[in-house]
Structure 1
Amino acid sequence: MFDRNYRQRLEADLAQWEADGVIAPAAAASIRNVLPPLSSGINIAVVVAIVGGLLIAAAFLAFVAAHWTELARLLRFAILIAGMIVAGGLGAWFAHTQRPVLADLCAGIGAIIFGAGIALVGQMYHLGGDFAGGMLLWSIGALAAAPLTGSRGALAVGLAAACIWSCMRVYDTPDALHLPFAVVWLVAAGLALAWNSRVAAHLVALAVLPWWIVAALGFGFDNPQPSFVLADGAALLFGGGLAIAAVPSQRALRFGGVLSAYGAFSLAVVAVLEVTTVDDIFRIEPGSATAQPLWAIMCGIAGAILAFASAGITKRMGEAFAGCAIALVLVAAPLWWASRAGEPWLAYAALLCAMLGLVVSGMLDAVRPRIVAGWLGIAGVIAGITWVVKGSLLRRSAFLAAAGVIAVAFATVLDRALSRTDE
């Protein structure tokens, strides 16, 4: 809540209210006094120091790589250990001198050196070729360093290594869902909640995306339709984020808000993918039913239920519209299958209504990411309908015109409802 942008807006509002006579100067001074001090941001000196540190690290690695074959094995191992010790020592010194950004950078570099050590030791001693196991070991080490140092950089390294590990396991066994990644992700999510860090929340939200994409593309079930599976993942991420944000806790509000923002954008991207890839790149054949595995369908339904549950807890109409948007995107999958003999106009209508509901949801709750995601989704879906639909242009124009009339009628009804609420 007390971030730099908020404080700037608050300071401008206090000055304006004081000038207009809304509050007394003493009241404005009291408000300023109770606010906590702002943490030092990243200034020019810190940026230059980061670039310099990265250049020195790159020069060190290049020098070692150039003379690697000339060095004895024991010396190579000592260099790796020394690199981690130096990175940790510098990080501790920066933390002691109140330079958290540089301390975080050192911890992240130490985690990277740890991963390089795993690879190079395996190469030196001709260990087994289980690269996925090495990535898991790297991820465990980085994630262990993250809570010890409070480093977001180490958390990022650990999550990146975990994503690579999971992708490699899915490649090895494409017909099985790689659930162990969920354990690593939950540990990282717990750290993000404990730290109450927006940066950590962004890292956790980003980490789940490649895992779900690989799961959607890697399954070998009959007649796969990845966009439907991706829709289930977006629904769970969006609805789960809304449900977490509904918990009466500042930590949960921040973490859930970030997750729901990524879920909203994912839902918009999936809506566009459904329009542009179904029956074009990936086709639904007769007998394929919903073209989704049961676990994915259950995840999508759980996301919709969580969104509506959040609306019931918070009493916000915007979250109810978000739940409707999720449900409509999920409903598009069976509508597509039912319309495989002709153009799936009902599916197109469901996706357009879903993106419109996303915009309305963001406006009612004053959440900008939902608004932006909804508008991008509307633009993408309309563009997809215009260019992908086969057959007469007259049908396309008639469909879009009918959708526009319905949207205007919905706007009129919504405006009257909001006016009555204001009264």
Structure 2
Amino acid sequence: MFDKTYRQRLEADLAQWEADGVIAPAAAASIRHALPPLSPGINIAVVVGIVGGLLIAAAFLAFVAAHWTEIARLLRFSILLAGMVVSGGLGAWFAATGRDVLADLCASIGVIIFGAGIALVGQMYHLGDDFAGGMLLWSSGAFAAAALTGSRGALAVALVAACIWTCMRVYDAPDNLHLPFVLVWLIAAALAFAWNSRVAAHLVALAAIPWWVATSLRFDFHGDQPSFVLANGAALLFGAGLAISAAPSPRAQRLGSVLSIYGAFSLAVAAFLEVTTVDDLVRLRTDTTAAQPPWAVVCGVAGVALALASAGLTRRSGEILAACAIGLVLLAAPLWPASAGGEPWFAYAALLCAMLCLVVSGVLDDVRPRIAAGWLGIGGVIAGITWAVKGSLLRRSVFLAVSGIIAVVFASVLNRLLPRAAR
């Protein structure tokens, strides 16, 4: 949870507890005194300064591009180098005066100019047309700047360039897994861990998705189902996030919680895609087999194992249900070809149960994003089942009605078994 939101909720709770006589005024004052000061937020002046800096950077690049052919080569290179030096110098000055947001912005502008310099110098000296290699060079420089300055913006630029690089490599060599990106991603995750930054954790979690999407789409040419490959990736991201957040380190807990949130939403999206793509609502392939590459299956199994390991460490019943949700989504893949002669009712049931487990898991662990992901998954799976192309709509309505009755009965049983405080 964000610090400011937490402070507001804590302040309201302290005021209520003090009014109810639960704690003494001296105890409430002691709690407030023990809290560290909040970091300064982004005010209107900082926002205007950020917009102004971006406009200046855009004007600089547009001016250089407009007069590129009229400027001598050495002067072109000098202009690009001066842009990086000026942005770095301003960033150092802002950092020394405590204006961290503006310092981060200057570092981001510097790495953007660095990327523009790679493209323009390559065009100027007619270097090789390996665009993906240029993206890797840009990403490497941005990573170096991020590591040296702690700039979240530079990390974002580095990850965007790295994602473009890996997508291009996957397109150029569809028969091989592009594993070098995994090493790059781990470096970014290490930076997010070292910084203990939630923003960096969000960037790292987002960067994992393009690699899985590009990799799963390339397997479409081999008769594999992309949605099943994506489900394995979501399982690994979800399970690994839960396992990392189970560590005693606050840094690991922050990073793991963010990864698990993105994993939960990715799992819900994968469940929706399984229904809509396998049942031909959206046609992605012509093969009727629901094959999966072995390495992807291993990733999915590892996600389930990591989620169970996390549940064993934290003793949270919600994480056991999260592991069940992951396993049920993965189980839907082998259930589909088993129902090749008709509609895959067992696969539908597995996906609905998986999303219900995800919702209940979030409720038990009090993790609202997990609850939201589960509800979105339930809505997506029901919509996919209802609007699937093949099969009888009447049979589907009966299936949904029976599923609803089972869910109501299950809710009644839980209501009797759980203590009143946990309901």
Q: Work out the CA distance in 2 between the residues paired with 1:306 and 1:416.
A: 31
| Higher deviation after alignment, 27-36 or 189-198 | 27-36
The Cα of 1:220 is off from its aligned counterpart by 6.1
Deviation by residue 1:211-263 (Cα, 9 ceiling, x = unmatched): 00000001366312100000000000000100101111111111000000000
Q: Distance in 2 between matches of 1:407 and 1:283?
A: 34
* Distance in 2 of aligned mates of 1:317 and 1:34: 32
**TM-fit CA distance, 1:390:** 2.6
Distance change in 2, residues 1:124/1:226 (3 Å): same
What is residue 242 of structure 1 aligned with on the other side? 242
What is the CA-CA distance between 1:24 and the residue it aligns to? 1.7
The number of equivalent residue pairs is 421
5 Å-filtered alignment, 1:70-149, equals: 70-149=70-149
C-alpha distance in 2 between matches for 1:421 and 1:235: 31
Aligned equivalents of 1:401 and 1:330: distance in 2? 24
Q: Distance in 1 between matches of 2:19 and 2:409?
A: 44
* 2:286 aligned with 1:269: no
Matches within 5 A, 1:261-340: 261-280=261-280, 281-282=283-284, 285=287, 288=289, 290-340=290-340
What one-letter code is carried by the residue in structure 2 that aligns with 1:117? G
2:397 maps to 397
Q: Which structure 2 residue ranges, 5 or more long, are not aligned?
A: none
Which stretch of structure 1 is more off in the superposition, 216-225 or 176-185?
216-225
Residue identity in the other structure for 1:19? A
CA distance in 1, matches of 2:12, 2:385: 45
Per the TM alignment, residue 420 of structure 1 is displaced from its structure 2 partner at its CA by: 8.3
Deviation at 1:26, TM superposition (A): 1.5
Contact 2:227–2:274 under 8 Å retained in 1: yes
Greater shift in the superposed pair: 387-396 or 222-231: 387-396
The CA distance in 2 between the partners of 1:143 and 1:319, in whole Å, is 34
Per the alignment, in what secondary structure is the counterpart of residue 188 of structure 1? helix
Q: Report what 1:359 is aligned to.
A: 359
If the length of structure 2 is used for normalisation, what is the TM-score? 0.97
Q: Following superposition of structure 1 onto structure 2, how do residues 175-190 of structure 1 map, counting pairs within 5 Å?
A: 175-190=175-190
Q: Deviations over 1:371-390 (max 9, x none)?
A: 00000110111111111153
Question: Mind listing any 5+ residue stretches in structure 1 that lack a counterpart?
Answer: none
Confirm whether residue 225 of structure 1 aligns to residue 237 of structure 2: no
2-structure distance, mates of 1:86, 1:421: 60
CA distance in 1, matches of 2:223, 2:393: 30
Following superposition, the deviation at residue 20 of structure 1 comes to 2.1
2: CA distance, partners of 1:127 / 1:393: 59
Note if contact 1:244-1:253 (Cα within 8 Å) is conserved in structure 2. yes
Report deviation, 1:279: 3.5
Match of 1:346 in 2: 346
Look up the match of 1:32: 32
Aligned to 1:368: 368
Structure 1 runs of 4+ off > 3 angstroms? 282-286, 420-423
What SS does structure 2 have at the residue aligned with 1:69? coil
Normalising by structure 1, we get a TM-score of 0.97
Q: Which residue of structure 2 aligns with residue 172 of structure 1?
A: 172
What is the root-mean-square deviation of aligned Cα atoms in Å? 1.5
Deviation at 1:416, TM superposition (A): 2.3
Post-superposition Cα deviations, 1:23-82, rounded to whole Å, max 9, x if no partner, equal 222211111111111000111111011111111221222222111110000000000000
Amino acid corresponding to residue 76 of structure 2 in structure 1: R
Deviations 1:160-199 (A, max 9, x none): 1111111111111001110000000000000000000000
- 8 A contact 2:94–2:100 mirrored in 1: yes
